[in-house]
Structure 1
Amino acid sequence: MARKKKGRAVSGWLVLDKPYELGSTQAVGKVRWLFQAQKAGHAGTLDPLATGVLPIALGEATKTVPYVTDGEKAYRFTVQWGAQTNTDDIEGEVILTSAARPKRAEIEVLLPEFIGEIDQVPPAFSAIKIDGKRAYAEARAGKAVQLEARKVQVDQFKLIDCPDDDHAVFEVVCGKGTYVRAFARDLGQRLGCFGHITALRRTFVEPFEESDCISLADLMALEGDLDALDAFLISPRAAMHGFPELRVSEDEARRIRLGNSIILRGRDAPAEEEDACAIYKGKLIAIGDVTKGTFQPKRVLLG
């Protein structure tokens, strides 16, 4: 007999305002414990020193995690000029220094170089694997880490403020796999003054906004009140905002939940579609592909 899973079969997305100095995995663990959920996952790791939008999926919502992870993200961050660290943030050891400080116009003229599809070398202290080992583990062991440049998509990169000669505040909108710490390193090198991040906040993970966030402190205050906690959960369907939707009947929903395909009928039925969402009574029940007018489920949500 299959072992019964521990916890509640609760499903939905929680948009956590991740606090400073808490790792993403730790945050997921705390949320899972609070909600007594059978399973949990998150969309897009945040460094412990970063704060902001950390979408956490519970239960069946974990089946939509890849679609959120692949979505657009936005960050607000502060760079301190005059020093480059080995981690490209405030935690690391200073490895290069400069007395030069850039003017606002000098910074702004460089920003177009960082917009579009660009080549970016990830920080040495990153989770990328080298011969099966994490780059940060190799770097912490004192080994030289050489990472290859990767293609990343940057849609917006703006200078928001220069509060003093030593600091600049930026906002960036980018795609999956982009390292914000690398912007501080690369900008500092291009400007000849070096730089590292001192503050980093994620403000958007498509489709979740900063306004959707709930703090961990507020959640902890509701410990044991499962009804109050569940009120903060967002439907798994919300994670698929912008994807094509197919309204299905009760019989079609039953067939889909058994993993069977259905033939789409009607004048407006699509003939071909990737990652279409089957919707029954307002709820997401499956994600699949439409081929020659037939919907074939790939991920079926139970309940």
Structure 2
Amino acid sequence: MKKLIIAAAIIAAGVGGVSYANYVATQEVRAEVDKQLAMVSEQTGATFKYAGLSASVISKSVEITNMEVISPEGESVANVQSIEVKGYETDKISPHTSLDVKNLTLSKDFIATLPADTNAILASASYNLHSSLDYNEESGESDMVVKLNAKDVISFNMDIGLANSKPLMDTSLAMSKEQKQAGDTPLTYEQQLQQQTRMMQAMSKLEPRNASFVINNQGKLKELLESELSKQGMTIEQMQTMLAQQLEQAPITEEIASELTSFASGLNSLTVSAKLPEGQTMMEVNQQLMMLAGKPEELVKFINLEVKGD
């Protein structure tokens, strides 16, 4: 019994310690978030208000809840249910980092001020965004994922795998540290040019390994397409006919043309994926693709291109 009491006391102390650490972290993060939002407000004139903010030292996460964006004129622009960041660290690139934005919606008053040709379906939709980065420092491989969902309308997913990404990660981290050291002092024009050059050099060393893009109908894709085509005086049937004619002349395989036609007819989902040769930079891959222009069968084989439409 005594041992059980001692064990319970240890657990309670541990929980209490974590809770206190989370409380301290929250206060520190709140100060930093407020500082960053103040800087954005100064640059844009917009105001950012939020109802809650919490931080966890265990999951290395920060969550902001019920944020409202207010225009310089004092009118509501958008509301966000929550913004959560996980895994980000100031002194290194974490093995896994992510950003989740839930239920971002534009206010009706703001939508009313948008240009007349703005798509009403997209403007009035509620958006969820997920982005993540998985990074292996030893191998230099990384995987980037972006998922954007316009609720009840359409969703788009992208997944890109890269090799030799360590130069880019190291450069990005170094630039972040430089900005932090500069504090509130903006970088000079020369410093910005130097950073851009370093970033371009690091990006040129990237080796694309695989990529996939997925579009899914979440309910109103057909309605969305109809509204956009009507602005050009076209119907979906006319678009499908025009696409069929273009595909007959396009330098693509019959299989891919068939899958694209299936997507245009069903408007349910479209998946495009590729697996690229190892040990080649993006520039080298592009050179190979240019050489294979007009040779669809060889091109498909070179990048292992797969297309699925429904």
Q: TM-score when scaled to structure 1?
A: 0.21
Q: TM-score when scaled to structure 2?
A: 0.21
From the two aligned structures, give the one with the greater helix fraction: 2
User: Larger Rg: 1 or 2?
Assistant: 2
